[in-house]
Structures are given as structure tokens and as C-alpha cells.
Amino acid sequence: MAFRDQAKKLEGEKVKVDTVNGTFVGKLVDVKNSTLILRDNEGKRVVIRDSKIIALVELKDPHHKDNLL
């Protein structure tokens, strides 16, 4: 499965993106052909090119209903 298809599954989730320019954390708002768009904690939009991405990791919310026993 392509990176874009896997990233699409994480839309709306809080993620951490490691890039060659640093690490970004925020809500994954949109997945385009060659970019990811995040909304950070301050409400700023962050656009990241796919070619700069090293890793994309979903951050689990410990208080989310799916994580409760």
C-alpha cells in the first residue's frame, strides 16, 4: 500500500511527523498528492512535502474511548 493511502487513514488524528527539517506534531487535516497538512496546537497550518518525511506516527490519546478498559 502506498504512503499516501496509509496517511489517508490517519486523517483527523493527532500525529507526529519526523522530517529532515525537524519534528512536527498536530492534527492531520488533509493528505494531498505530494503534501501533508497539519494543524498544530496553536491553530497554525503546517504544510509538509512528502519528499521531506522520514516517519509518520499516530499519537494515541490516553483518554480516547477506544483506549478505555
pLDDT at 2: 85
- Is residue 63 classed as helix, strand or coil in its secondary structure? coil
Q: Which residues contact 47 (CB under 8 A, 6 or more apart)?
A: 35, 36, 37
Arithmetic mean of pLDDT, 19-33: 95
Q: What's the pTM value of the predicted model, to 2 decimals?
A: 0.81
CATH 2.30.30.100 fits 3-60, yes or no: yes
pLDDT tens-digit readout, 29-56: 999 999 999 999 899 999 999 999 999 9
| Rounded Cα distance, 15 and 18, in Å | 10
